[in-house]
Amino acid sequence: MIEVEAVLHVSLDLKVLYFGTPVVLISSRNEDGSANLAPMSSAWWLGQSCMLGLGNRAKTSENLLREGECVLNLVPSGLVGAVDLLAPLTGSNPVPERKAAKGYRYEPDKFGAAGLTPQASEVVGAPRVRECPVQLECRVEGAHAFGENARAFEVRVERAHVEERLVIPGTDYVDPIGWDPLIMKFCEFFGGGTNIHASALASAWRMPHQGMTAAG
């Protein structure tokens, strides 16, 4: 017997397809040797590689193309405040017109602005973020055009650093219970499955749910 589906689906012109991905703070080196740091969440993983979706106007994209390396610092939910402080900032000077219109401003010291600590890397020039329990030093293996204004950067993990308390003792595995990643869903921040912080990005994008908090 064929069951009749009771659930109603509606067809939409969906404006945003950010269904939920971990937030990464990507550190890269500027042309003068200083560090840039940017939140991003269009990242997925396969084997020892990762694909990163980055807008062409990001300073980070420029740095990755020139330097060929970066650090992916995975963000725990407790660092949501630092991520939100970085949200309206860019390392590009002057600020690209479309970003300026969204309220972005130039910040040469992103670590300082977010209250985060640079930690020397071992195989790449860009520093790690000491406060992030998972830090992946990476080399860029390819950059592919993606959509109209972005690139997909293929990076390979050359060295992984994990805070000891998150490692399953005697193994090379992260404890999935201990690791609570900050998740970005439709521009809102989630940790442990609940909405944990108002989002500057959601506000800049004028998302209909902006101002949402843990309290609802």
Ligand X SMILES: Cc1cc2nc3c(=O)[nH]c(=O)nc-3n(C[C@H](O)[C@H](O)[C@H](O)COP(=O)(O)O)c2cc1C
120: DSSP letter: -
Give min distance, CB of 140 to ligand X, in A. Answer: 14
Instruction: Please name which of 189, 195, 191, 187 lies closest in space to residue 214, comparing C-alpha atoms.
Output: 195
Does position 108 bind ligand X by CB under 6 A? no
Nearest to ligand X of 78, 175 (CB atom): 78
The pattern of x and - marking residues 151 through 190 that bind ligand X according to CB under 6 A reads: ---------------------------------x------
Quick check: 129 and 86 in contact, CB under 8 A? Answer: no
Rg of the chain over all Cα atoms, to the nearest angstrom: 18
- CA dist 44 and 51 (Å) reads 5
Nearest to ligand X of 36, 73 (CB atom): 36
Per CB under 6 A, which region of 2-10, 47-55, 116-124, 168-176 contacts ligand X?
Answer: 47-55
Nearest to ligand X of 137, 153 (CB atom): 153
Residue 165 φ/ψ region, left for φ over 0, alpha for ψ in the -120 to 50 degree band, beta for the rest: alpha
Residue numbers of the site for ligand X (CB under 6 A)?
23, 36, 38-42, 53-55, 58-60, 83, 87, 90-92, 104, 184, 201
